[in-house]
Chain A
Amino acid sequence: MLDQASIAYRLRAMRPGSLIALALLALLILVALIGSYLVPYDPLSPDPKHALMPPNPAHLFGTDQFGRDILSRVVVATRLDLAIAFAAVLVSLIAGSVLGAFAGWSGGWVDRILGRLIDTIMAFPLFVLAVGIAAGLGNSISSVVIATAIVNLPFYARQTRSEVNRRRTAAYVEAAYLSGFSPLSIVSLHIMPNVVPPLMVQSSLNMGWAILNAAGLSFIGLGVRPPQAEWGIMVSDGATNIISGEWWMFVFPGAVLLIAVLIFSLVGDALRDILDPKRR
């Protein structure tokens, strides 16, 4: 376990890049929370008179084929994109760590069945499996969340399993066992606090991947539907207008998507530096 003094020390010793990453993450979350109240235009209402305008002072990112303001749509989409990714990561974090802890603690056939299940998921190209699951569950946002969560599950389950399994015979665990703690409370109170920091690093790196996965699914027409503002759909909308030169339609949502994912991967690296400086 990390004590607070050492965390404070590591925060001070952090690379400036990591601080910038954390600041950008705060900004991104702020945009997701209050962005929809700040935008200059309604992201959904069409304005045919101002369709396909290039970036100008009134519309900094230009307008789309229905005259909707792209800046407003990109900002409003932040909440939906982050929410989908966050929900997916949360589901796979919880389900994966519970399954992994169970398998790691009990070993035996439980462990073998879980291992087999995870190998099977990993036997698919992950995006292909995500497409299959999302298509099977029906075209909705929640099926995108579930699909993304399932393809992410192996990473959490494997990591938790090996960390729990490794600690099963540790002296403090045996001590707790002899003091009469139940297995459930040993795993949840004594072992899991040690496993959480690496899982947090994994989650942050995973958030970026989950955003990409969800945007990819909606890019091919699964999940979020127009006219809802979502980065993948906006890029997909813009794709048809490239040949006529209206670049702003796909460039801005695509660039924001790229930046958001980049922020999460930088934050993941920063978290790893704080929690696990040896691997730097």
Chain B
Amino acid sequence: MVRLIAGRLAAAVPNLIGVIVITFILTHLLPGDPAAYFAGPSATAASVEETRHRLGLDHSLIEQFALYVKGLAQGDLGNSLISGQPVLADLINRLPASFELTFGALLLAVVIGIPLGMQAALHPGSWIDRLCNAISTLGQAMPTFFLGLLLVFVFYYLLGWAPAPLGRLDSMFEPPPTVTTFWTIDSLLVGDLSLFWAVFSQLILPVVTLGLFGVGPLARMTRASLLEVLSSDYVRTARAAGLPRHQVLWTYAFRNALVPVLNTAGMVFSFLLGANVLVEKVFGWPGIGAYAIEALLASDFAPVQGFVIVMALFYVLVNLTIDVVTVLVDPRVAFDA
């Protein structure tokens, strides 16, 4: 097991290097002279030179890359011009909000998508199969931000059921003491139900918006994978041996059907990380996506690059986790690799 994880870690290294090289290239795509840009509009020629030296822009590209990697290793992602803070500190501050949203959405997608796909596979051609198909077709075509705005319009403006789409918690409340950084869990830990409800009600619309996009792919993959497994010889044998239906389904079929579903979950996660940016903007969510957009509009590029690299590193980590879970579910996979 340890050897396996080490192997997967080693396999992730080239991806990490690739991610770092690409983000470095992105830094150097900036139009115009970055030194003049970072020195500010009122800079003199001398202060531009001084900035050029401070940023290491007077070195060769290779040396700059080395400096960049050294900075990354020390957690230095530069400073934000708008907040004046180190980008890393800003990102760490805002990560929990994004994580709570993304993981909530993934949980919702899994809880709805997998059972839906299973029902569709068990009853092909039924209404639930058609529903599954319709959801995944519509989900592919629906703009994330449009769905979010529609939900806000219906559930906040028309029905008044949801709170205003203005962040993680109504300003009447104090956030719970930090334990897990997920406010839903933290508020339950201190036993404050009204606070939990306030947090939960803010969370529900953004999570539903984001989560619905995971339902389609997960349901479709579960359906296809389970259908294939159900028509296999060993399931036929298990049925012929007279095993009860639920045992055939859960012990024989489901676990075997799960590997492609897990890989789809990884893809869904990647999509959710991207769509996060749009959903955070719609709901005024104080996560790292909204932070990157704010910075973008102010032409403050260090936060945008920090955001891109943190997201990419995080995604590499997620893929690693999925690889490991896949082997736990189906040890045969380890031998293929």
Q: Is the CB of A116 within 8 A of B18?
A: yes
The proximity string for A residues 261-275 relative to B, scoring 1 for CB distances below 8 Å and 0 otherwise, is 110010000000000
- Chain A residues 229 to 280 lying within 8 A of chain B, measured CB to CB, are 232, 235-236, 238-239, 242-243, 245, 247, 250-251, 254-255, 257-258, 261-262, 265
| Cross-chain contact A123 with B315 (CB below 8 angstroms) | yes
- Cross-interface CB contact of A216 among B26, B144, B297, B305, cutoff 8 Å: B144
Q: How many A-B residue pairs have CB under 8 A?
A: 150
A125, B271: Cβ atoms under 8 Å? yes
A61 to B60: give the CA distance in the assembly, Å.
Answer: 56
Could you say which of B45-53, B80-88, B150-158, B257-265 contacts chain A? B150-158
Residue from the list A132, A238, A247, A255 in contact with B305, Cβ < 8 A: A132
At the interface, yes or no: B122 with Cβ under 8 Å from chain A? no
A136 x B146 contact (CB < 8 A)? no
Q: Are B141 and A265 in contact (CB under 8 A)?
A: yes
Mostly, the B contact residues are helix
- Chain B residues whose CB sits within 8 angstroms of the CB of A209 once the complex forms: 140
Whether A128 contacts B274 by the Cβ 8 Å rule is yes
In Å, the complex CA distance between A142 and B263 comes to 34
Asked if A157 is at the interface of the complex by the 8 Å CB criterion, the answer is no
Question: Which one of B145, B308, B319 contacts A132 once the chains associate, using CB atoms below 8 Å?
Answer: B308
A residues near B297, Cβ cutoff 8 Å: 221
What is the number of residues of chain B that contact chain A, defined by CB distance less than 8 Å?
A: 51
A66 at the interface (CB under 8 A from B): no
Q: Does A154 contact B (CB under 8 A)?
A: no
A222 interface contact, C-beta 8 A: yes
Instruction: A219 to B141: give the CA distance in the assembly, Å.
Output: 16
Collect the chain A residues with CB atoms within 8 Å of residue B137's CB.
Answer: 262, 265
A179 close to B (CB within 8 Å) = no
Evaluate contact between A242 and B149: CB separation under 8 angstroms.
Answer: yes
**Assembled-state Cα–Cα distance A257/B146 (Å):** 9
Interface residue? A42 (CB, 8 A): no
Given contacts A123-B15, A124-B19, contact A135 B141 (CB under 8 A): no
Contact B296 A123 (CB under 8 A): no
Contact between A245 and B157 (Cβ–Cβ < 8 Å)? yes
Closest to B316 in A: A123
Q: Is residue A133 contacting chain B, with contact meaning CB distance below 8 A?
A: yes
A135 nearest CB neighbor, chain B only: B304
Q: Which residues of B contact A119 (CB under 8 A)?
A: 14-15, 18
Residues from 272 to 286 in B contacting A, C-beta threshold 8 Å? 273-275, 277-278, 281-282
- Cβ contact within 8 Å between A216 and B14: no
Which chain B residue shows the least CB distance to A243? B157
Residue in B closest to A133 when the chains form the complex, CB atoms: B26
Say if the beta carbon of A41 comes within 8 Å of chain B. Answer: no
**Nearest CB to that of B297 among chain A residues?**
A221
Indicate whether A261 sits within 8 Å of B312 (C-beta atoms), given known contacts A119-B14, A221-B293: no
What are 15 A-B pairs at a CB distance below 8 A? A120-B18, A120-B22, A123-B19, A123-B316, A124-B308, A125-B311, A127-B274, A127-B277, A131-B292, A216-B278, A236-B145, A242-B149, A243-B157, A245-B157, A254-B150
For the complex with contacts A124-B19, A220-B277, A242-B156, 6 further pairs of A-B residues with Cβ separation under 8 Å are A120-B19, A120-B22, A126-B274, A131-B277, A235-B143, A242-B152
The 8 nearest A-B residue pairs measured at CB: A127-B274, A120-B18, A136-B29, A254-B146, A125-B273, A132-B308, A262-B141, A261-B141
Residues of B within 8 A of A (CB): 14-15, 18-19, 21-23, 26-27, 29-31, 137-138, 140-146, 149-150, 152-153, 156-157, 164, 270-271, 273-275, 277-278, 281-282, 292-293, 296-297, 301, 304-305, 307-308, 311-312, 315-316, 319
State the A residues within 8 Å of B (CB): 116-117, 119-121, 123-133, 135-138, 208-209, 212, 215-216, 219-222, 232, 235-236, 238-239, 242-243, 245, 247, 250-251, 254-255, 257-258, 261-262, 265
